[in-house]
Chains A and B, each alone.
Chain A
Amino acid sequence: MSTKAPPDTRFVCPLGDVERELTRQMRALQGAGSEPLQRARMSNLVIFCSSLEQSIFVNEQVYQLSASHPARALLVVGEPGPAERDVSARITVRPVAESGSKQFACVEQVTLHASGAAVDRLPFAVRGLLIGDLPINLWWAAPQPPPLAGPLLYELGEYAQQILFDSIGWPDPARGMAATASWLEQIERPGGRWRVASDLNWRRLKYWRRLMMQALDPTSTPGAAESATEMLIEHGPHAVIQAWELASWLSRRLGWTVQGGKIVSGQEMEMSWRFKGPPGEARVRVRRLEQGPPEIRRVRIACKLMDRPGAIVLAVGDGQRLSMSLEGVEGAPRTLALPPHSAADLIGKQLSDRERDPVFRESMAVAQVMARSLLH
């Protein structure tokens, strides 16, 4: 499949005519004949963007997503500006075909737009377009952290079983992290409507976490986890929260508790925390590199290896592999394939993975304490 969405014809229509128009467009796409319409839709995917520019990027992802998770996509754009009278609706119908097959199914997208005060009316429009019985997912694609987004998020996510967000590039990481843990507790509270919240950044860490667990496994590096005293995570621009989430996760796994933190402004921006761990004082540093892709580049964990001071180092190699080496111990680095993941891939996987992740919640609870230590 090409990575670029093909030019598609879009139809602007009144909200009340959306269903009829969708069916009409699908019939037109499918051609003459009396065969039943083939519609592919695994869920309702409500996506919120706070600008048109952002929606162009998201639109591309929705197209790519239709290969792995076809959904009724409701792309909701609510912009600041003068209030429009009504919410406008644009319809897009696209074919998704099995490779090698002449048959195809139709994937549907409705783009809703409002500005100014009319943004408050978007949740009403969304309610009327959801398909019953299909899971409802909200992808919060706006740059604001969901807990700080206000009532719009709650109204759009009223019936959602999953709320997806991406913490990459949050403008105020400490505030965002401080608010997210409490918000997660609230969103996923037992007894209410079953719901899960997921951060795409957390999903990006999957391979890092896997290799780290292998690196600290007592059968391969006995005593390394218990003796770890320092962790340094280096990341490219916009990936501070990814690094932070990894730091909070590992701190929790190592049984460390936060003692205090500070932001060190130097040539390279760095955040530093003091922890108390089983061996005593421990330290975590998250350092931003001036250049590079928006991801974690290197992690160094100082610990004892074979009873001698050493370190476990994980680093991104050629971009396709993650390597692990042991400082002070001879041997070839271990490597793990790091499959490239577009945002659409990540979302597709997350949409299918609807279980609550207690490890994420626990890590975010640690991240919250780390954030508060910076804010106070």
Chain B
Amino acid sequence: MATDLYGGKSDAPVSSPARALVPQPCQLVIFGAPGDLAWRKLLPAVYNLNVDGVLPSHFAVTGFGLPAEGGVQGEPDDYLRNRAHNGIERFSRRSLEDGHWADYSRALFFVPGSFNDARAYAQLKFRLQAVDQQFGIPGSRVYYLAVPPQLVGMCVSRLKEAGLINDPGEQHAFTRVIVEKPIGRDLASAREVIQTVGAAFDESQTYRIDHYLGKETVQNLLVLRFANSIFEPLWNTKHIDHVQITVAEEEGLAQYDDAGAMIATRAGYYEGVGGLRDMVQNHLLQVLCLVAMEPPWSLGAEVVRDAKVGVLNCLRALTSADIERNVVRGQYIEGDVRGKRVPGYRKEVRESFAVMNKSLPPESVNSTTETFVALKVFIDNWRWAGVPFYLRTGKRLPKRASEVAIQFKDVPQVLFNDHPEVPLEPTVLALRIQPEEGMAMRLACKLPGPKVRIYPVQMEFNYTASFGGEPPEAYERLMLDVMAGDATLFMRRDAVEAAWQFVMPILEHWERARVRDIPEYQCGTWGPVEADRIIQPDGRQWRTL
């Protein structure tokens, strides 16, 4: 039976893949609704879910927050509707259609207010109750905290004070909260955030989102591994030579219009944070968990999450010597991306702060924030003993491309592989996370003709090409999961802490080193040359994506 990720048979056994839970009637309350995330991702994602007909029968969206420009002109609800309309036009997977829009927009509401204003929460409460009544919603709420990390604590405290959080045992009118990354900026602050949220919400009500886990290919990792008989027997140190996980971004810190003027910047968040915290600690380690985890005994959320955290607990702790040898960071300098000249990171930071009308912090004058990180890690368990996992992420690389590549061990050096001068290309299973989600298997094949000549060929599977249409956006899947109460694809607190625990020695080592400069790479290249030194001595190469 096909698995229906959006509903399916609710009476199926728990361990069956058809166990997908059904989204329940609720209100989605977006904190920071005027912000970038809501505009680009959340509001278009809910529109797509509406078009697909998978939203609960009784459902509405209420936005909360204050626009950056201050107050709202005209009707508040119209403000959010206009914002959503614009976001869907620009970013939605599905095009805007009048009928669907009319249906969607009538369930969109906005309450303007400051996150620290108790009166605003009172207004919010009043409005939520009115919307509940209007749409027949039983008082269930999903609070999406699309706000800067420093405001998370304030929002949850105010929600609690305003009596907007129901008891976790309340089945009829549930309350759930979605917390965006980053969860803290180190282990101590992560624990603080976890505790603050935990003071208002039970762990069972808390959904820490990592949108990478909502991508089809990432979810398909489990299906690939555990629904196909050929892979799992090979998925171990005996047959796998190494694994490479790459998350490459084309974008830098800032975005520019065609005339070269800066139109958006993430400097306020990214500067001083860097790629290790922004990407490795969450996205890459989460993907690593899915690649390396032991088979869970069921698809129950806690069982899968137990298996994932098991991987994090087996990561070999890095000593200072390991970090020197196996971790490389870099920062981009001026170069070319897609035929356009783009400035270096430090210049972007300076210009960003000027655009934001903020003074440049002294430590950012010659910033050593890393925009590229590459590292080699080992998982010390029976399955993966001795298999290196090479992780790599960076900004302003030649293309936007994320993949997991499983490279299998070479065949013995006899028959077709007996000539060391002409090595056979290794067998590689590459799982593309973005763009063009899918997978490809590289195999050696005989070229037609009288001579035995070996040529690498690709067996490809592409989601769009095979199934038609674009696969759902990660946010669509994840928001639906929260409405259904399925926490499988969300990070549990122990996983967040374990991931921080792993990266902390690197952060502390860098902090102690206090270098004035870190390795540089030109925009539009695959990172600093120093990254080669963690892989080439092993007789391997970074993959060309």
- Chain A residues with CB under 8 Å of chain B are 14-16, 19, 34, 36-37, 42, 86-89, 112, 121, 124-125, 127-130, 132-136, 159, 190, 193-194, 352-356
- A133/B442 contact (C-beta < 8 A), A128-B524, A352-B455 known: yes
Partner of B541, one of A88, A112, A193: A193
Whether the Cβ atoms of A15 and B339 lie closer than 8 Å is: yes
CA distance A140 to B14 in the complex (A): 60
Whether the Cβ atoms of B339 and A87 lie closer than 8 Å is: yes
Residues of B within 8 A of A36 (CB): 462, 465-466
Closest to B525 in A: A127
CA distance A87 to B524 in the complex (A): 14
Residues of A within 8 A of B458 (CB): 133-134
Whether the Cβ atoms of A124 and B524 lie closer than 8 Å is: yes
User: 7 more A-B contacts (CB under 8 A) besides A128-B250, A356-B421?
Assistant: A14-B339, A16-B250, A124-B522, A124-B525, A128-B399, A135-B425, A355-B453
Query: What are the nearest 3 A-B pairs in CB distance?
Result: A124-B336, A87-B339, A127-B398
27 A-B pairs, CB-CB below 8 angstroms?
Answer: A15-B339, A16-B250, A16-B338, A36-B465, A42-B455, A42-B457, A87-B336, A88-B339, A121-B341, A124-B336, A124-B525, A125-B338, A127-B524, A127-B526, A128-B250, A128-B398, A133-B430, A133-B458, A133-B543, A134-B456, A135-B456, A193-B541, A194-B422, A194-B423, A352-B455, A355-B419, A356-B422
- A355/B422 contact (C-beta < 8 A), A86-B340, A127-B524, A133-B428 known: yes
Q: Does B440 contact A (CB under 8 A)?
A: yes
Whether the Cβ atoms of B398 and A159 lie closer than 8 Å is: no
CB distance from B417 to the nearest CB of A (A): 13
Q: Does B412 contact A (CB under 8 A)?
A: no
Whether the Cβ atoms of A136 and B435 lie closer than 8 Å is: no
Q: Does B188 contact A (CB under 8 A)?
A: no
Residues of B within 8 A of A121 (CB): 336, 339, 341
Q: Does B468 contact A (CB under 8 A)?
A: yes
CA distance A193 to B529 in the complex (A): 14
Whether the Cβ atoms of A130 and B544 lie closer than 8 Å is: yes
- Chain B residues with CB under 8 Å of chain A are 250, 335-341, 398-399, 401, 403, 419, 421-423, 425, 428, 430, 435-436, 440, 442, 447, 453, 455-458, 462, 465-466, 468, 522-526, 541, 543-545
CA distance A170 to B543 in the complex (A): 35
Residues of B within 8 A of A88 (CB): 339
Closest to A160 in B: B544
Of the candidates B335, B419, B453, B465, the one having the most CB atoms from chain A within 10 angstroms of its own CB is B465
CB distance from B89 to the nearest CB of A (A): 17
CB distance from A191 to the nearest CB of B (A): 9
CB distance from A194 to the nearest CB of B (A): 6
Of the candidates B423, B456, B541, the one having the most CB atoms from chain A within 10 angstroms of its own CB is B456
Whether the Cβ atoms of A124 and B398 lie closer than 8 Å is: yes
CA distance A193 to B340 in the complex (A): 29
Residues of A within 8 A of B457 (CB): 42
Partner of A89, one of B339, B456, B465, B545: B339
CA distance A313 to B419 in the complex (A): 37
CB distance from B197 to the nearest CB of A (A): 39
CB distance from A83 to the nearest CB of B (A): 11
CA distance A16 to B255 in the complex (A): 14
Whether the Cβ atoms of A15 and B338 lie closer than 8 Å is: yes
Partner of A159, one of B436, B456, B544: B544
CB distance from B29 to the nearest CB of A (A): 35
CA distance A352 to B399 in the complex (A): 27
Whether the Cβ atoms of B422 and A136 lie closer than 8 Å is: no
CA distance A159 to B398 in the complex (A): 13
Residues of A within 8 A of B422 (CB): 194, 354-356
CA distance A183 to B424 in the complex (A): 24
CB distance from A91 to the nearest CB of B (A): 14
CA distance A89 to B440 in the complex (A): 27
CA distance A353 to B455 in the complex (A): 9
Residues of B within 8 A of A16 (CB): 250, 338
CA distance A133 to B406 in the complex (A): 12
Whether the Cβ atoms of B430 and A128 lie closer than 8 Å is: no
CB distance from A59 to the nearest CB of B (A): 20
Partner of B545, one of A124, A132, A355: A132
CA distance A73 to B250 in the complex (A): 22
Closest to B457 in A: A42
CA distance A129 to B102 in the complex (A): 41
Closest to A88 in B: B339
Closest to A18 in B: B338
Whether the Cβ atoms of A125 and B336 lie closer than 8 Å is: yes
Closest to B544 in A: A159
Whether the Cβ atoms of A19 and B336 lie closer than 8 Å is: no
Residues of B within 8 A of A125 (CB): 336, 338-339
